[in-house]
């Protein structure tokens, strides 16, 4: 009695999925061509023989473009489904391999005379292998049929030449600019699946950054937009025809691409499976070319605990890979500390942070670093942040998430403004390495949250945290300078957590300002516990005090730091 072999299998579902993304981006590009030919390329008021000839030639080009776009979209969807099928077949094959190993061990121990049961098991196994092979063959045949049907222009025209784009009717009902996220969500819920897919493919820019659209659809749209932009600008670069603006946008697009790759390379420390990644915000042209990018690690639509990490000085689209790596680290820590948690961490570069400091980048780099000691950027960014969190909440179905905003450095000032000025709808607010919570936020209660849900994370060597106002002297009263009060100080009323690092420097400096999200640090552990809602496990630190008769005093200065495990690695 012999066991049939399990057929070899070298399919790469990830590569197939990449192919689907390329096809979808191509569909968007061709759709743009069709729209151009039918719209801007038509010259109103131009008449005569030449005009007739021009219009007679250009209109069919537009129609052909639309048909080809729809065909590409159709094929892309089928290729994406093919990737799902290949992945499913791979999992089934792994089960067959394990079953074969188990049967082989069993057969080696079974005497021939009592092998009836084993024979039946082998027959069942053989049938399962045959079924798997048949399913694989059927899937490949189906995929080939679709590719063959649309491998020529006439195939696309036959099927889609007179077809209406489902996106058109859907987009005609798109809520106007500034519509509340709830209205946007209601519009989206009113579309059927085909319309949603069509909108994502035909007009990714219309929904990719629209608050109220569910995160997985924003991700789908933004990936189409990103792939389309990269293809277009890389081509212009190759041709030597890239303008200055486009060159900046290309840098931002590449950074967004790298940020997504960084997030996707993350591995869940509990299951060892890849973590979901979402491109939640992609606007390479935003803020005069600084760009806006937000990448999530985890699924924002279904996570029980959502953290929005707001970076500070110098953050722009170019820093997105760094922010994505930080999000991976926080996600890993949340999972290591609570294996039952379902977190999602959004690295949000969605506001115009002050540019880098003047000594970094050279004299020609340009900077608005003066903004770092003023609150203008934080005040404007706070409004955007509150809108973004509103959008996150509105885009979800089912139970509301436990949402925490984690503002680092100048990002904590931005978060403070979002809370004080715009009623930031969060459950917890974490101010990390804060140079000030904003001029109008003198106390944790001024954020609108219960002070027990406002957390200060500041280590004793962080020179940036020292920038915040202490004691009774408030710098914001002098010509608008300064960023507000120190959240780690006793009279602010927040809960200060332990945040020292075993690598901390002897003196205050900038290095310790950048260590709050390092693995195996007190800060990352405590931030993670706030994010997952395990507040009782947070280790608290004594607040900074600043008596009127002397300078500030930090009780954490002499405490030996600990190195808790946050990555699960030995």
Partner 1 sequence: MTEIRSTASAAAALAVLAVTATACGGGGDRVDHTGAAVLERQRAEVRATAVALATDLSGATGGEVQSATGDWDGCEPAFADRFAGVRYAATVRLSLAGWEVPPRQRAEVLAELLGDPAEGAGDTGALVRTAPDGHEALVEVTAPCVEVPAGERDAWLVREEPTPDLPVPARGR
Residue 390: CB minimum distance to partner 1, A: 25
- Closest-CA residue to 561 (of 514, 512, 527): 512
By CB atoms closer than 10 A (0-12, 13-18, 19+), residue 450 is exposed
Q: Is 548 in the site for partner 1 (CB under 8 A)?
A: no
- Closest-CA residue to 468 (of 493, 494, 489): 489
Residue 471: CB minimum distance to partner 1, A: 8
Is residue 63 within a helix (H) or strand (E), and if so which, with residue range?
helix 49-109
Residue 163: CB minimum distance to partner 1, A: 38
x/- mask, partner 1, residues 268-307, rule CB under 8 A, reads --xxxx----------------------------------
Q: Answer yes or no: are the C-beta atoms of 516 and 508 closer than 8 Å.
A: no
Q: Answer yes or no: are the C-beta atoms of 457 and 526 closer than 8 Å.
A: yes
DSSP 8-state class, residue 304? S
Strands 305-310 and 343-349: parallel
467-486 positions binding partner 1, by CB under 8 A:
467, 470-471, 473, 475, 481-483
DSSP 480-493: T-S-BB-TTBGGG-
Of 157 and 463, nearer to partner 1 (C-beta) is: 463
518-547 positions binding partner 1, by CB under 8 A:
518, 544, 546
Q: Which of 97, 137, 147, 194: binder of partner 1 (CB under 8 A)?
A: 97
Strands 454-457 and 428-432: parallel
Tokens of 11: 């399919």
Of 53 and 247, nearer to partner 1 (C-beta) is: 247
328-357 positions binding partner 1, by CB under 8 A:
356-357
Of 312 and 487, nearer to partner 1 (C-beta) is: 312
Of 30 and 467, nearer to partner 1 (C-beta) is: 467
Number of CB atoms found within 10 A of residue 256's CB: 32
Q: Which of 43, 51, 95, 537: binder of partner 1 (CB under 8 A)?
A: 95
Q: Which of 29, 195, 315, 413: binder of partner 1 (CB under 8 A)?
A: 315
Q: Which of 251, 445, 538, 563: binder of partner 1 (CB under 8 A)?
A: 251
- Closest-CA residue to 331 (of 519, 546, 103): 519
47-85: b or e for each residue (b if 16 or more CB lie within 10 Å)?
A: eeeeeeeeeeeeeeebbbbbbbbbbbbbbbbbbbbbbeb
- Closest-CA residue to 395 (of 169, 215, 168): 215
x/- mask, partner 1, residues 170-199, rule CB under 8 A, reads ------------------------------
Residue 552: CB minimum distance to partner 1, A: 4
Residue 307: CB minimum distance to partner 1, A: 17
- Closest-CA residue to 437 (of 459, 455, 413, 414): 413
Tokens of 382: 């706070």
x/- mask, partner 1, residues 13-52, rule CB under 8 A, reads -x--------------------------------------
Of 184 and 458, nearer to partner 1 (C-beta) is: 458
Of 210 and 295, nearer to partner 1 (C-beta) is: 295
Q: Is 459 in the site for partner 1 (CB under 8 A)?
A: no
Of 50 and 272, nearer to partner 1 (C-beta) is: 272
Residue 337: CB minimum distance to partner 1, A: 17
Q: Is 506 in the site for partner 1 (CB under 8 A)?
A: yes
């Amino acid at each position: 009695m012999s066991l049939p072999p399990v057929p070899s299998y070298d399919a790469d579902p990830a590569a197939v999925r990449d192919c689907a993304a390329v096809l979808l981006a191509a569909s968007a590009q061709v759709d743009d061509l069709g729209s151009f030919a039918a719209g801007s390329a038509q010259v109103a008021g131009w008449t005569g023989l030449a005009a007739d000839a021009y219009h007679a030639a250009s209109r069919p080009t537009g129609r052909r473009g639309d048909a080809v776009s729809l065909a590409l979209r159709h094929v892309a969807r089928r290729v994406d489904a093919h990737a799902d099928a290949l992945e499913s077949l791979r999992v089934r094959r792994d089960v067959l391999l394990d079953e074969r190993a188990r049967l082989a061990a069993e057969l080696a121990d079974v005497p021939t005379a009592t092998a009836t049961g084993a024979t039946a098991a082998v027959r069942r196994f053989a049938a399962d292998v045959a079924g798997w092979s048949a399913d694989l063959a059927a899937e490949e045949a189906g995929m080939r049929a679709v590719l063959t049907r649309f491998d020529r222009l006439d195939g696309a025209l036959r099927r889609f030449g007179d077809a209406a784009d489902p996106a058109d009717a859907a987009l005609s009902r798109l809520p106007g600019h500034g519509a509340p996220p709830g209205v946007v969500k209601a519009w989206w819920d009113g579309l059927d699946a085909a319309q949603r897919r069509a909108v994502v493919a035909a007009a990714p820019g219309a929904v990719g950054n629209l608050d109220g659209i569910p995160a997985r659809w924003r991700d789908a749209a933004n990936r189409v937009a990103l792939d389309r932009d990269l293809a277009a600008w890389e081509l212009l670069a190759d041709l030597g025809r890239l303008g200055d603006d486009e060159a900046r946008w290309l840098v931002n697009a590449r950074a967004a691409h790298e940020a997504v790759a960084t997030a996707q390379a993350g591995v869940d420390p509990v299951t060892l499976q890849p973590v979901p990644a979402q491109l939640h915000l992609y606007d390479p042209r935003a803020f005069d070319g600084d760009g806006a990018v937000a990448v999530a690690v985890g699924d924002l639509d279904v996570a029980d605990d959502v953290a929005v990490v707001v970076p500070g000085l110098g953050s722009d689209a170019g820093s997105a890979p760094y922010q994505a790596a930080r999000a991976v680290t926080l996600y890993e820590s949340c999972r290591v500390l609570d294996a039952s948690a379902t977190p999602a961490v959004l690295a949000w570069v969605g506001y115009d942070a002050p540019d880098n400091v003047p000594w970094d980048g050279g004299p020609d780099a340009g900077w608005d670093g003066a903004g770092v000691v003023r609150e203008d950027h934080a005040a404007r960014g706070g409004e955007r942040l509150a809108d973004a969190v509103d959008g996150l909440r509105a885009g979800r179905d089912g139970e509301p998430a436990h949402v925490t905003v984690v503002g680092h450095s100048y990002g904590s000032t931005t978060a403070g403004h979002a809370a004080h000025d715009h009623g930031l709808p969060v459950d917890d607010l974490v101010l990390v390495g804060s140079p000030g919570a904003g001029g109008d936020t003198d106390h944790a209660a001024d954020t609108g949250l219960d002070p027990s849900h406002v957390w200060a994370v500041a280590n004793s060597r962080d020179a940036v945290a020292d920038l915040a106002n202490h004691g009774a002297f408030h710098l914001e009263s002098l010509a608008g300078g300064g960023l507000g009060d120190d959240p780690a100080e006793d009279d602010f009323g927040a809960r200060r957590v332990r945040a020292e690092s075993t690598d901390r420097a002897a003196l205050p400096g900038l290095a310790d300002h950048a260590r709050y999200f390092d693995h195996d640090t007190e800060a990352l552990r405590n931030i993670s516990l706030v994010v997952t809602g395990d507040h009782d496990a947070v280790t608290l630190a004594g607040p900074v005090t600043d008596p009127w008769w002397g300078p500030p005093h930090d009780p954490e200065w002499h405490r030996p730091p600990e190195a808790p495990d946050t990555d699960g690695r030995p």
